[in-house]
C-alpha cells in the first residue's frame, strides 16, 4: 500500500499544534491559540493511528501487532530517556531545568524507568502521550482481532460499534470524574472512537477526500474557535480536563476535520507540503526535542537581557516570546533532524561504496 502523504501532513500539523500549545496560551490581543490547538492535537494523532491500522496484515495476528507497536516506541523512548537522565546534572548546572542533582543510584533508577515508558525528566514530559497511545493501540487492535474472528458480517459491525461506543463512554466518564489511571488509560479509552473513525475514513478515503478542502478548513477553524470562546469546546487531556463533556466528541471531530482539510490544502503548496510531510514523519523526534529547544532559547535570551539564571529553568518556557519558541521549537529542531538525516545518508552511501570496492 502506497504511503498516504495527507496522513503525514496531519501528523505534522498535530505536532506543530503541540509545540504551539506548549509555547503560548494566548497571542496578540488575546487570541486563544492554546485552547484551540489543545482541543484536537492529541486525538488527531489517534485518528491517524486508526487510519494506519492494517487489517489485512494483522487480522488474526494480534500478538504480532502488539509486538510491532511496542518495538516502534520503546527502544527509541528508552534512548531519549537515557540521554536526558545522563545529561540531567549538566542541564541543571546551566539552569535549563529545575530540581535536584542525580546520584549514580538515582540515575540507574531513572534510566530503568524508560523501559516502562515513564520518565522523571521534564524536558521529555510531552511523552506522557506515548503510554496512552500504546494502550489505545492495543485495545483497538484487540477489538479488530475479535471482530475479524466473527463469521457473520452483521455481528462484526454490531460488536465493533458497541465496543467502540462503550469504551469511549467509559473513557469520557472516568476523565470527567478526574480519575487519573496509570498510563492515562482513561485517555486511551477516550481515543478509541477517534481511532475507529480514522479506520473508517481510510476505507472510504477515495470518496471522502473531496470533502476536505480549503473552505472546510476555514469554516471548521472559525466554528471551533467560536465554540471555544463560548466555553463549549476545549480540553487538556494531560490534566484530565474536558470543558464540555456533552459536546466533547463533536467538537474534537470538528478539530480533526480542520486538520484533515488543512492538510489537503497544504498538499497543494509544494514547499509547505514537503516541510509538513517531513515534520509528520519525524513527529516523534519533534515531540522529544522541542522542550529542549525552548530551554536553549531561554538561556540565550536570559543571558542577553541580563536576567536572573533562576528564571531560565521555568517549565515549559520562561519568557513571553512565543514566536521565537514556534520558530526554534519547530523549524530549528526540524532543521537539526534534517541535518542528522543528511549525515546518516552520506555515511551510509560511503559504506556502500566501500563495500562494493571490497
Residues 8-55: tens digit of each pLDDT: 999 999 999 999 999 999 998 889 999 999 999 999 999 999 999 999
Measure the CA angle with vertex 191, ends 120 and 233; round to 5°.
95
Q: What is the per-residue pLDDT for 358?
A: 64
Which pLDDT belongs to residue 309? 87
Record the cell numbers describing residue 264, joined without a space.
489537503
First and final CA of the chain: distance in angstroms? 36
Long-range contacts made by residues 298-303, C-beta under 8 angstroms, separation at least 24? 298/96, 299/94, 299/95, 299/96
Can you give the pLDDT at residue 271? 94
Sign of CA dihedral 102, 104, 109, 115: positive
98 DSSP assignment = -
Residue 2 has a pLDDT of 64
- Phi and psi at 96, nearest 5°, equal -80, -20
Q: Find the DSSP H helices in the chain.
A: 5-23, 33-38, 41-51, 55-58, 62-86, 88-93, 104-113, 128-148, 153-176, 185-203, 205-208, 214-229, 248-266, 270-281, 283-304, 322-326, 333-357
pLDDT < 70 regions, the chain: 1-2, 358
208-259 confidence digits (pLDDT tens): 999 999 999 999 999 999 999 999 999 999 999 999 999 999 999 999 999 9
Report yes or no: 212 and 262 within 8 Å, Cβ to Cβ.
Answer: no
Q: Is the pTM of this model over 0.85?
A: yes
Amino acid at each position: 500500500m502506497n504511503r498516504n502523504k495527507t496522513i503525514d501532513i496531519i501528523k505534522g500539523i498535530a505536532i506543530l499544534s503541540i509545540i504551539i500549545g506548549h509555547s503560548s496560551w494566548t497571542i496578540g490581543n488575546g487570541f486563544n491559540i492554546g485552547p484551540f490547538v489543545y482541543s484536537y492535537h492529541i486525538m488527531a494523532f489517534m485518528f491517524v493511528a486508526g487510519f494506519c491500522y492494517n487489517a489485512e496484515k494483522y487480522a488474526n495476528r494480534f500478538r504480532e501487532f502488539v509486538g510491532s507497536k511496542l518495538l516502534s516506541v520503546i527502544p527509541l523512548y528508552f534512548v531519549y530517556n537515557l540521554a536526558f537522565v545522563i545529561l540531567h546534572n549538566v542541564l541543571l548546572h546551566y539552569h535549563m531545568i529545575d530540581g535536584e542533582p542525580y546520584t549514580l543510584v538515582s540515575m540507574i533508577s531513572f534510566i530503568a524507568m524508560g523501559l516502562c515508558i515513564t520518565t522523571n525528566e521534564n524536558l521529555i514530559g510531552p511523552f506522557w502521550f506515548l503510554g496512552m497511545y500504546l494502550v489505545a493501540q492495543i485495545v483497538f487492535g484487540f477489538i479488530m482481532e475479535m471482530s475479524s474472528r466473527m463469521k457473520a458480517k452483521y455481528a462484526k459491525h454490531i460488536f465493533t460499534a458497541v465496543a467502540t461506543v462503550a469504551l469511549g463512554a467509559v473513557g469520557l466518564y472516568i476523565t470527567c470524574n478526574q480519575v487519573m489511571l496509570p498510563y492515562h488509560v482513561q485517555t486511551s479509552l477516550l481515543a478509541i472512537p477517534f481511532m475507529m473513525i480514522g479506520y473508517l475514513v481510510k476505507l472510504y478515503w477515495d470518496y471522502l477526500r473531496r470533502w476536505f478542502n480549503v473552505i472546510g478548513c476555514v469554516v471548521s477553524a472559525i466554528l471551533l474557535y467560536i465554540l471555544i470562546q463560548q466555553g463549549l469546546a476545549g480540553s487538556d487531556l494531560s490534566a484530565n480536563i474536558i470543558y464540555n463533556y456533552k459536546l466533547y466528541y463533536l467538537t474534537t471531530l470538528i478539530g480533526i476535520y480542520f486538520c484533515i482539510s488543512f492538510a489537503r490544502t497544504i498538499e497543494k503548496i509544494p514547499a509547505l507540503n514537503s516541510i509538513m510531510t517531513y515534520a509528520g514523519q519525524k513527529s516523534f523526534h519533534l515531540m522529544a526535542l522541542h522542550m529542549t529547544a525552548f530551554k536553549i532559547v531561554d538561556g540565550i535570551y536570559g543571558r542577553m537581557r541580563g536576567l536572573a539564571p533562576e528564571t531560565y529553568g521555568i517549565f515549559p518556557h520562561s519568557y513571553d516570546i512565543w514566536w521565537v519558541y514556534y520558530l526554534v521549537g519547530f523549524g530549528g529542531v526540524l532543521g537539526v533532524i534534517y541535518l542528522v538525516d543528511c549525515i546518516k545518508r552520506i555515511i551510509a552511501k560511503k559504506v556502500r561504496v566501500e563495500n562494493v570496492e571490497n
